[in-house]
Structure 1
Amino acid sequence: MKAVRPISALKRHRGFSLIELMVGVGIGLVITLAVFQVLTASEARKRTSTGLNDASQSGNYALYVLDRMLRSAGTGYSQGWATVGGCRLNALLPGGESLPRVGPLPAPFTAIPQAFRLAPVVIFRGASDTGSDVLMVMSGATGYGEVLTNVPAGGVAATQVTLPNTIGYRAGDLVMLASGGECLLSQVDAAKPACAGDPAAPLGTACGPILPLGGTYYTPAGPNLSLATLALQSDVSAFSIGNATTNPPQFGLIGVGADSTLFAHNLLLFNGVNASEPIAEGVRELYAVYGLDTNDDGILDAWQSPTALWDGPALMDGSAASNARLRQIVAVRVGMVLRSSLVERELSPGVPVAPANLPLFSDLPAPNPIIVDLTRAGENRNQRHRTVEITVPLRNFLMRTTS
């Protein structure tokens, strides 16, 4: 006969003991903590990657804009450089402004000189409001022959210019009239009828010699040159640089401003607003150097920092020596320091994520390399930094007629 266990003894052997429960809870906490650590590290890496990707995309777009601007530099006048290269620009601009400027340029270009000369590319070292370089790029947009037109003696009048022919000129086109180191910007009047070369012209319509002047950019006199003065000259040249509405030329500045933003400013104020336009964010620094053809054989021979005789104000003094230097520039190398917007934790106590400095142009001979100091005021080394560089040939100057 079997012995019957007491009910109280059976109850004591059901479920988990307190020790077993505590061990299970402890194991669960350890696993939870491990999973949390993995998720935290993964999320941190994802934020870092996202921040760097955003900075890289912004930098790539900035490089695209720079590449497009620089490759077109010199379009429309490179073939006539000996005649119009380095001429001082005179223009009436929308909003009461002019070239040379009446007031200072908008930020971040307030330190740039107010007078400009026709040149494909000029670098102003450390001239932006944040201390980075500023690029000035000039190019036309007509693509019609790229050859200057000689104006016959007495061919300039108050409201018109007489040319051998006006093929290629359309209503609203911007026309540069040059003589004696000065250039006056004018505009073809809207009343000019369509003629040969214009798809809107009836078949067989001939172009006469008269080019009527009028419109927003028309002015009888600029600060340093007038139509009346040109009427007395025998060495006047004319060339189209584009259309103010449908195909505007590119006369602009580009540089880094506040909030690590790359800005551009159109010197001809096509939008009528005297303000700079943000291009890309996350750009902390911008620097550039020239590539020179020193013996006029169309081959890059040396790299030159924009200092001393090669600084912006020196290259734009209008002297024959400066014009000769401008003609040697056949390429530009641009370097930028990009910064992500994410502020990260230190890698370890006292060790930030960014190095103390970053090099640009490190493969070039001295004194071209630049060391960007990330320990200076305003920098945050707990944000990721990255450098990008691009070398752009000035194709219009490489194709120019040699002297």
Structure 2
Amino acid sequence: MQGFTIIEIMIGLAIGLLTLLAIYKLFATSEGRRRTTAAVSQAQTAGALALFAIERDIRSAGLGFAGMDPAYLGCAVQAYKRTGRDPAQYSFPLMPVQIVNGSELRVLTGSSTNMFIGARYSASASGVFTMERSNAGFQAGDVVVGTSDTDPGNCLLMEVTAGAGSDITGPGGVAEDDPTVRHLSSGYTSFYTGASVTPERNGGSSVDMLDGGATSLGEGWLFSLGNRPTRNVWRVQDNQLMRYNFLDETDTKSVGVAEDVLQMVAEYGFDKDGSGKIDKDNEWTGVDAELVASKLDRLMAVRVAILVRSSQYERDAVTSAAPKWANGSKDFVMGSGDDWPHYRYRVYESVIPLRNTIWGQQQ
């Protein structure tokens, strides 16, 4: 029996090596496409989740105070949180949505289920508000914003320790309905939990700023934000969308909401010309000063765009131009490096109406 010659063996080895090389190349191509598909799918999911979370928050913005007199919108809210926040005393502008540097959102909303638009007080002293009509709508445990007729540029965030349904001791020791709204530092029974609690928000150097004086009894408005208001801060950090509640925490308590988020941009949409709609390009702006200088009651919407990037670095350049937002009229800033064209991107964008602001100013 005659065996294979050396030439036949070498030819067989060459064919086998070529076959293995073809299989390896096919596998490498298939694996690269699989990784690209998985990375793109993950980024798309992250983008949809990020925009959904922000959109849901903004749609509730202004709940509890959006119907107030425009003279008070934008006032500097003096606030205090006894525990869990450092610094405990802080301030922020009273706006349903604040855009910081065009890339950070701060969304303020109440938690009350009642369509309550506020009530006037006719006098204030030592943490007790004498209401002009009644204290209906204010429950022990609510967080309220109080405004002052004499100083509309400043307002106070407080915790109600006695309101509707509370009792006081009347003449002869008989219990009577308490017609006032109180924000004292002593403990109280929460309307919402029935538990005895110590107020967290009634303290700091501004706690008595709404009290009357020698020339005025103190007059203004109280607006209820419910018992669990939030001022969520949304921003992108280390390719993650982060969030924390500014009323109770600082940025050290930020939690991740979605990964693969490269950038977030936002701008205000407000009715400059009083037409009742946003129909001109110059009615969109990301500049705080311009908005405040206009009328905050004309703020109608916020446009938010989320740029997500796949985690897969591609050997060849796959993106030739910077992604766009604002209906394709503006570019995302991608930097001067050579790496960004080797990633895949997708933009998620939405115009979110501020329903509470629109409805509140129509009342």
TM over 0.5: yes
What letter is aligned with 1:335? A
Which range is displaced more, 72-81 or 376-385? Answer: 376-385
Partner of 1:395: 355
Q: Indicate whether 1:172 and 2:132 are aligned.
A: no
What letter is aligned with 1:228? D
8 Å Cα contact 1:375/1:381 also seen in 2: no
Rounded to whole Å, the distance in 1 between the matches of 2:116 and 2:288 is 26
Partner of 2:230: 250
Task: Tell me how far 1:356 sits from its aligned partner.
Answer: 4.2
What letter is aligned with 2:114? Y
What letter is aligned with 2:229? P
Partner of 2:92: 116
- Residue 134 to residue 84, structure 1, CA distance change in 2 (3 Å): same
Task: Tell me how far 1:390 sits from its aligned partner.
Answer: 1.3
Q: 325, 334, 351: which one pairs with 1:374?
A: 334
> 1:279-306, CA deviations, whole angstroms, 9 ceiling, x for partnerless residues?
3222222212222333445433234477
Partner of 1:186: 158
Task: Tell me how far 1:238 sits from its aligned partner.
Answer: 0.6
Which range is displaced more, 391-400 or 286-295? Answer: 286-295
Task: Tell me how far 1:72 sits from its aligned partner.
Answer: 0.9
Rounded to whole Å, the distance in 1 between the matches of 2:213 and 2:147 is 8
Q: Indicate whether 1:240 and 2:228 are aligned.
A: no
What letter is aligned with 2:41? N
Rg larger in structure: 1
Q: Indicate whether 1:354 and 2:319 are aligned.
A: yes
8 Å Cα contact 2:263/2:306 also seen in 1: yes
> 1:142-165, CA deviations, whole angstroms, 9 ceiling, x for partnerless residues?
1322311011x22x2213323333
8 Å Cα contact 1:290/1:332 also seen in 2: yes
> What are the within-5 Å matches in structure 2 for residues 113-262 of structure 1?
115-126=91-102, 133-151=103-121, 153-154=122-123, 156-163=124-131, 164-179=133-148, 180-181=151-152, 182-189=154-161, 192=162, 195=165, 208-213=178-183, 214=185, 215-219=199-203, 221-222=205-206, 226-229=209-212, 232-243=216-227, 248-257=228-237, 259-262=238-241
Partner of 1:335: 305
Rounded to whole Å, the distance in 2 between the matches of 1:375 and 1:77 is 40
> 1:293-333, CA deviations, whole angstroms, 9 ceiling, x for partnerless residues?
334454332344775xx6224545xxxx43x1x22221111
Q: 9, 20, 24: which one pairs with 1:32?
A: 20
**What CA RMSD, in Å, does the superposition of the two structures yield over aligned residues?**
3.1
What letter is aligned with 2:77? L
Task: Tell me how far 1:63 sits from its aligned partner.
Answer: 0.3
Rounded to whole Å, the distance in 2 between the matches of 1:305 and 1:28 is 68
8 Å Cα contact 1:290/1:303 also seen in 2: no
Partner of 1:65: 53
Partner of 1:202: none
Task: Tell me how far 1:23 sits from its aligned partner.
Answer: 3.2
Partner of 1:104: none
Rounded to whole Å, the distance in 2 between the matches of 1:230 and 1:354 is 66
What letter is aligned with 1:338? V
Which range is displaced more, 377-386 or 31-40? Answer: 377-386
8 Å Cα contact 2:63/2:110 also seen in 1: yes
Task: Tell me how far 1:218 sits from its aligned partner.
Answer: 0.8
Rounded to whole Å, the distance in 2 between the matches of 1:210 and 1:274 is 38
Task: Tell me how far 1:49 sits from its aligned partner.
Answer: 1.2
8 Å Cα contact 1:292/1:302 also seen in 2: no
Q: Which has the higher contact order (CA 8 A, sep 6+)?
A: 2
Considering fraction of residues, name the structure with more strand: 2
Task: Tell me how far 1:96 sits from its aligned partner.
Answer: 5.1
> 1:327-377, CA deviations, whole angstroms, 9 ceiling, x for partnerless residues?
2221111112212222232x2xxxx233342222244xxxxx322243425
What letter is aligned with 1:158? S
What TM-score, normalized by structure 1, do the two folds share? 0.73
Q: Indicate whether 1:311 and 2:280 are aligned.
A: no
What letter is aligned with 1:97? P
> What are the within-5 Å matches in structure 2 for residues 264-283 of structure 1?
264-269=243-248, 275-283=253-261
Q: Percent identity?
A: 29
Rounded to whole Å, the distance in 1 between the matches of 2:32 and 2:321 is 22
Rounded to whole Å, the distance in 1 between the matches of 2:242 and 2:338 is 19
What letter is aligned with 1:279? V
- Residue 47 to residue 62, structure 1, CA distance change in 2 (3 Å): same
Rounded to whole Å, the distance in 2 between the matches of 1:274 and 1:89 is 22
What letter is aligned with 1:329? L
Q: Indicate whether 1:263 and 2:263 are aligned.
A: no
What TM-score, normalized by structure 2, do the two folds share? 0.80
SS of the residue 1:330 aligns to: strand
- Residue 185 to residue 47, structure 1, CA distance change in 2 (3 Å): same
Partner of 1:107: none
Unaligned runs of at least 5 residues, structure 1? 1-10, 102-114, 127-132, 197-204, 364-368
Task: Tell me how far 1:187 sits from its aligned partner.
Answer: 0.4
Q: How many residues align?
A: 334
Partner of 2:87: 97
